[in-house]
Amino acid sequence: MKKIYIILTHTGTTLSNIIKYYTKDEFTHVSIALDADLEKMYSFGRLNPYNPFWGGFVHEELHKGTFKRFRKTRAEVYSLFVDDEQYSKIEKRIEYFQEYKDKYKFNVAGLFGVSIKKIVRRKNSFYCAEFVRHIMKFSGIKTDVLPQIIKPEDFLKFNGLKLEYEGLLRKYQKKSLPKLEEISRVLQGNRISYI
């Protein structure tokens, strides 16, 4: 078993506030990550931090690009266990998008379709939530709980999600395991020493 991460964010930009107005949700963007450090975090979003309408497949980073520009981005980071085969399929599918990213566009019409509760699909195009659903479905994760007109917060419907962090995205740090010395000290404090 391995963990993937679902990251919900809200940058507070004009576009994200318009989306928030229509969805009534706290978060307006979703990404998927393959590691607890969020160094392998992917979505469909801005290709240029200064242009909200020029988008596509993006490898997102905590301290670069859009998230660097919008330092007050709020986030919730969730983990979800998947089996090894599903994790491998997610990796391969993301590698495919990385190799052929120029072939894919941002589904602006689909994003605005959410506000009027209408599905607008375009060939080789996604908005963030469509992309994350696509990746999960491709890997064999059951996505039946997700609606056809999908928003970022719809991913909270998955059973088994565990909230790992909430707060400013730039302050995110993975939870680390206790150090060996700390474990030893606790055990000795209980008069039991295994080390």
Tell me which CATH homologous superfamily contains domain 2-189. endopeptidase domain like (from Nostoc punctiforme) (3.90.1720.10)
180 pLDDT above the threshold of 80: no
More confident residue, 179 or 5: 5
The whole-number pLDDT of residue 177 equals 47
* CA nearest neighbour of 141 among 192, 89, 183: 89
Confidence of residue 117 (pLDDT cuts 50, 70, 90): confident
> Which region holds residue 191: left if phi is over 0, alpha if psi is between -120 and 50, else beta?
left
Residue 52, pLDDT score: 78
Residue 175 is predicted with a pLDDT of 66
- What pLDDT, on the 0 to 100 scale, is given for residue 15? 85
pLDDT digit string, tens, across residues 35-87: 999 999 999 999 998 887 789 999 999 999 999 999 999 999 999 999 999 99
Average pLDDT of the chain, as a whole number: 89
Residues 25 and 27: their CA atoms lie apart, in Å, by 6
| C-alpha span between 10 and 20 (Å, rounded) | 9
Q: What is the pLDDT of residue 195?
A: 39
Q: Note the pLDDT of residue 176.
A: 54
> Any idea which residue has 């599903």 for tokens?
86
The whole-number pLDDT of residue 53 equals 76
Q: What is the DSSP-derived secondary structure letter of residue 175?
A: P
**Predicted local confidence at residue 188, as pLDDT:** 54
pLDDT exceeds 90 at position 127: yes
* Residue 193 confidence (pLDDT): 37
**Is 149 in contact with 119 (CB distance < 8 Å)?**
yes
Q: What pLDDT band is residue 174 in, cutting at 50, 70 and 90?
A: confident
* 191 pLDDT tier (thresholds 50, 70, 90): very low
Q: Please report, for the chain, the start and end positions of each structural domain, with discontinuous segments joined by +.
A: 2-189
* pTM score: 0.87
